[in-house]
Amino acid sequence: MKTKLSRKAAVLCRERGIEVKKQTRELNTPDEQLLRRTNRH
């Protein structure tokens, strides 16, 4: 079961990652920089 769950999770992560990259490329707003700064802290 763990292998199946991990595979599904990996696929979801990949899909989400691609979506996020597309959004960041389209937007590329300064808000993203602020989010990155907050995430660092």
pLDDT tens across 3-40, in order?
777 888 778 878 877 777 766 666 656 676 677 776 66
Question: Would you say residue 41 has pLDDT above 80?
Answer: no
Mapping DSSP onto H, E and C, the string for 1-41 reads CHHHHHHHHHHHHHHHHHHHHHHHHHHCCHHHHHHHHHHHC
Calpha distance 16→10 (Å, rounded): 10
Whether the Cβ atoms of residue 32 and residue 24 lie closer than 8 Å to each other: yes
CA distances from 41 to 18, 22, 25 (A): 25, 25, 24
Number of domains, the chain: 1
For residue 26, what are the domain limits? 2-40
Q: Would the pTM of this model clear 0.85, i.e. be above it?
A: no
